[in-house]
Chains A and B, each alone.
Chain A
Amino acid sequence: EPEVTQTPSHQVTQMGQEVILRCVPISNHLYFYWYRQILGQKVEFLVSFYNNEISEKSEIFDDQFSVERPDGSNFTLKIRSTKLEDSAMYFCASTKGVETQYFGPGTRLLVL
C-alpha cells in the first residue's frame, strides 16, 4: 500500500540554524499538509498546499517557515532560523481530495 514517507526521522540542530524537512507524498495525491506536535501536546496544523501554492496557514506558520514542492514528488518544510520552541515532531500528510489525509511517520526535530 502506498505510504507517505519523511526524512530524516530525527534531526538535531543548533538554535538559529536552518533546517529542511522532507516528505514524499503518495504519488497521485494533490493536497499536502504539514502538522506539528510538541512533546506531550496535541497535533497542530501548520500549512496546506495545493496547485503549487499555500491554501491555508496557521498563526504558527510565520515568516520563518516556508514550503516548497521542488520537483513534483518531494514536499519540503523549511525553518529558516530555528528556535528552541520549534522542537517538535513534524508530520507531513497528503490526500487525493476524495478521502482522508494520510500521515507520514514524522520527523522529530530537536533544537539545542
Chain B
Amino acid sequence: AQSVTQPDIHITVSEGASLELRCNYSYGATPYLFWYVQSPGQGLQLLLKYFSGDTLVQGIKGFEAEFKRSQSSFNLRKPSVHWSDAAEYFCAVGGVYNTDKLIFGTGTRLQVFP
C-alpha cells in the first residue's frame, strides 16, 4: 500500500531564507506526486505535481520540487521564503493513474519569522 512520510512536523525559518520540506513515499511503481498548501481554516491549494518527465518541477508561488526515484523522495524547495508562505504543507501520492485516490502525509507546519 502507498504511504507518505513527512519527517518534519514543524519548521521555522526567517523571511528570506531558503526552505526545503522533505517528503518520502512508498509505492511499487512511480506514482503521481503532489504538494498542497493549506492556510489556517482554508482548503487545499495545489502547489505542484509530478507525473513523469523532468524530475524538477516548478509550481506556483516560486516553489519547486525534485523527484528522486533512487531515494523515493519528492522534496519541496523555495529559495527565499516570504512571510505569506506560513502555512501547512502536505505531500500526497496518488497511484499510477491520475484518477487514483490521494494518500497524504501528516503535513509540515511552516512558521516564518520576520
Contacts and interface: CB of A to CB of B under 8 A. Distances in A.
Interface of A: 31, 33, 35, 41-45, 48, 50, 55-56, 58, 91, 93, 95, 97-106
Contacts of B32: 100
Contacts of A48: 99, 101
Nearest to B49: A100
Contacts of A91: 43-44
Given A41-B106, A105-B43, A106-B43, A99 B98 contact: yes
Interface of B: 32, 34, 36, 42-46, 49, 90, 92, 98-99, 101-107
A7 to B, nearest CB: 13
What DSSP secondary structure best describes chain A's contact surface? strand
A42 B98 contact: no
Contacts of A95: 98-99
Contact of B103 (A41, A45, A102, A104): A45
A42 B106 contact: yes
A45 B44 contact: no
Contacts of B101: 33, 45, 48, 56, 58
Contacts of B34: 100
Contacts of A98: 98
A93 B43 CA distance: 11
Nearest to B4: A42
A36 B34 CA distance: 18
B13 to A, nearest CB: 22
